[in-house]
Amino acid sequence: MKTTEYITNKINRFPKGYVFTYEDFSIEVERKEAVIKALNRMVEAGKISKLSKGKYYKPEKTPFGELQPDQEQVVKDLLEDDGKPIGYLTGYSIYNKLGLTSQVSNTIQIGRNEVRPKFKRERYTISFIKQKNIITRQNIPLLQILDSIRYIKKIPDSTLKGSLERLLKIIEKLSDNDKKELVRLSLKYPPSTRALLGAMLDELNEVSTKSLKASLNPITKYKIPGASRILSNTNLWNII
């Protein structure tokens, strides 16, 4: 089978919006250049689109134009290494997914243990947030919730009242084990995050917050204006 025919057949099996590189094709190293040339010819012919250098995707076309790949596809090489999670989507895209904002941003934020300077990938700016916990597939949803609490004052197109009400509903639906894990993971977050999580969990009155309380300096105050309108116990957590 000719290289171009093999590549075409392979791409036809990819789902729309799937981002791929020449490494997705099982082909001899010496034929690498032939694969790259064939892919670039397909870009010129409008059969596939180029995301960035060496990265391509199978576009989904609508009456309103060509859809961009999902953000997770755009940065999947930064989220996983040899099948192991090394990062996760957080920030703006997760605020939208969790129902905290309706805005969609061209900035993709990634939580990782090891961060790097932000950079551009076509229309997107990729930036990083330091995550001190070990990242696993199981704890990523909980880390995304904790990140949302940490940056609650920076959620765009939202009020603190609205964000708190939504986060309370999200946390309430978690299992008891997940709530306990949320507390454990939060111990590596800033004190203000721990204080706000403690006040939220106390409001729900479902799991112990003793470890959170013990982790905080009893004389430190945390400025989260408006939190007292939603949470009845902010004074017990030094939230002002």
- Which strand (E) or helix (H) includes residue 203? helix 191-204
Same domain, 42 and 113: no
Half-sphere CA count of 196, side-chain side, radius 13 A: 31
Residues 53 and 83 in one domain: no
> Which of residues 121, 151, 181 is at a domain's end?
151
Residues 74 and 124 in one domain: yes
Say if residue 57 is in the same domain as residue 102. Answer: no
pLDDT at 23: 82
Give the per-residue pLDDT at 30.
62
Whole-model pTM: value is 0.86
Q: What is the pLDDT of residue 24?
A: 85
- The total number of structural domains in the chain stands at 3
* Whether residues 85 and 143 fall in one domain: yes
CATH number, domain containing residue 48 = 1.10.10.10
- Amino acid 38: pLDDT: 87
Q: Are residues 109 and 168 in the same domain?
A: no
What pLDDT does residue 186 have?
98
Cα→Cα distances 154→43, 133, 147, 188, 201, Å:
39, 22, 11, 20, 21
Same domain, 137 and 165: no
Same domain, 43 and 75: no
Could you give the C-alpha distances from 119 to 110, 112, 122, 130, 175, in angstroms and in order?
12, 15, 10, 16, 37
Of the candidates 65, 81, 96, which is a domain's last residue? 65
Residues 32 and 82 in one domain: no
pLDDT tens digits, the chain, 240 residues: what are they? Answer: 577 788 888 899 999 889 998 888 877 656 778 888 889 899 999 889 988 888 899 888 888 877 888 899 999 999 999 889 999 999 988 999 999 998 888 899 999 999 999 999 878 999 999 999 999 999 999 999 999 999 999 999 999 999 999 999 999 999 999 999 999 999 999 999 999 999 999 999 989 999 999 999 999 999 999 999 999 999 999 999
Final residue belonging to a domain, choices 93, 128, 151: 151
Residues 91 and 135 in one domain: yes
| 31 & 80 share domain | no
Written as six digits, the tokens of 133 are 């916990």
Expressed as residue numbers, the domain containing 16 is: 3-65
